[in-house]
Chain A
Amino acid sequence: MRAVLTRMGPGGVRLVAALLAVVGVFAVPLVLQSTFTIKILTFAGINVIIVIGLALLFGYAGQISLGHAGFFGLGAYTSAILTTTVGLPWILGLVAGTAVAAAGGVIIAVPSLRLKGHYLAMATLGFGEIMRILFVQLRDLTGGPDGFSGIPPVSVGSLTLETSGADFTLVWVVAIVLLLLAANLGGMRPGRAMRALHGSEIGTSACGVDISRMKIVVFTISAGVAGLAGVLYAHVLGFISPTNFSLNVSIILIAMVVLGGPGSLAGAVAAAVVLSLLPFLDAFVPGVPREVSEFIQSWQHDLYGLTIILVMLFLPRGLAGGMRQLVRWIGRRPSVEGDTA
């Protein structure tokens, strides 16, 4: 197996993985009987989309956002209002939701990324709180604390996604496309510049990269991606309310990115899937009793908080770094006696 993988090279592995993913995206809804399970997997896919954007920000620009639930909500409410209240087609809602969230990103990023350090985190925290307050208080537009209901399902022209299986496919196709884009970004000039940024800001700057502009671009992309996820969320669920976009949601997203590890898209995606599915463990792992899932659900916020702390303390490179260490450790094992290193 290993030999085959080595011969294929990373490009080949990636291609096979992408092919498998595409097959999975269409096959899963056919194989799985339970609508509930498909829905859970769909929401996991939406989390994956947001986390891809956050991982770009964290891994490549060395910044965290405490307000991504705000961008997520901005996308969701923008599209909900435009399609439901105004009556525009979904595709316009999608474009507008993404664009408005990205614009929000620019507004926050331009002033705060000129400053070093923790200011972006705090500015995004403020942004997220303002968004939440607006979602609650602008009752005429958003429905207030009771939420916004009756959002139509995704439709393009005469094609309407009626089943949860179709939603699943749409969400995961978007997730995979974004993942491929983000992965390729890592290898191209902007991606290299971003990684260099995380390594050394001064060094990168000396190489002629405009750091502030780079960071603003990354942040805008990640805000736009969160907005896009919000649009999908609104139309898949049909109902949104301010609690879906609270600070807790932003922190859970951070837990996913941190668990994944900085600079690793694969790790972030894996962490997003694991943490999204964990509260519904019994639906995915045979033999796990319902009580276990109920226990996890009741303690999930404690778990997320603890995860963040433990990963930062003991696994600062996240799941991805942990896996690499494990592989190295297993590989090294046999020669331990003869090798003092």
Chain B
Amino acid sequence: MAKLDVTIGNLKLKNPVMTASGTFGYGLEFQDFVPLDGLGAIVVKGTTLSQREGNDYPRMAETPMGMLNCVGLQNRGVDYFCREIYPELLPTGGTFIVNVSGSSPQDYAECAARVDALEHIPAIELNISCPNVKDGGMAFGVTTKGAASVVRAVRERYHKTLIVKLSPNVTNISEIARAVEAEGADSVSLINTLMGMAVDIERRRRVLSIGTGGLSGPAVKPVALRMVYQVAKAVKIPVIGLGGIMTAEDAVEFLMCGATAIEIGTANFIDPKVTIKVRDGLNKWLDSHGYQSVQEIIGAIE
């Protein structure tokens, strides 16, 4: 049994397998399939200060080796989360991270501050990269200035581990990563979805209700690997890698590119047990290759 524990900021994870926001609900939806306390951490659905209805249907299109979505941050707001969902999470024994989104730096900061008050939420992931909302979201994540302004505002009001989720829809992702590191982010996670589009030729229109959506799944993995590799070299804080991970071997690729932990997203839709399978598969892979600890492969490639 190889040692699997890793550290992100002040957060010690029992293993590097996390879930990607928006693909695992609040974890509760997967309780029939996965022991929630068996995962490194569960990143819950994007949460905003006020309730959001999200975008109109249709919000999804299947693509070769992936899918597009334009859900648009549907959620019932941070107070509902604190009051109704948080108490339900506690008995599961899992480690939960709240994904926080907003439409202004003050918005993000206020939402983060309310999550800061929850004793058993040790970290947040700031979503400055949602491609599916008009106000905020990715708008902040595509410039160093915008990214820095959100992280600065949140850092003032949030005292635990702060992860910032980066958009791949930029010219130079390493610059953005350095900008949020300079403002006190404890970690960056990447990549969020790639902006894409699907066309319905019979109806002569775009498939998704808002026209565009975020591409996820194995189709984006090579892009994600490249970016994780670049960012891991550019910053000193730990990098969390995600984008198309379906198997333990995929996870090993991200770890070797410099990710300290990984998130599994779209794969949960194909196999609701995939997270725990990746954890066990990672253990097996490390054992069979003679590694004592996952640390030995993090950033192992030149």
Partners in one complex: no
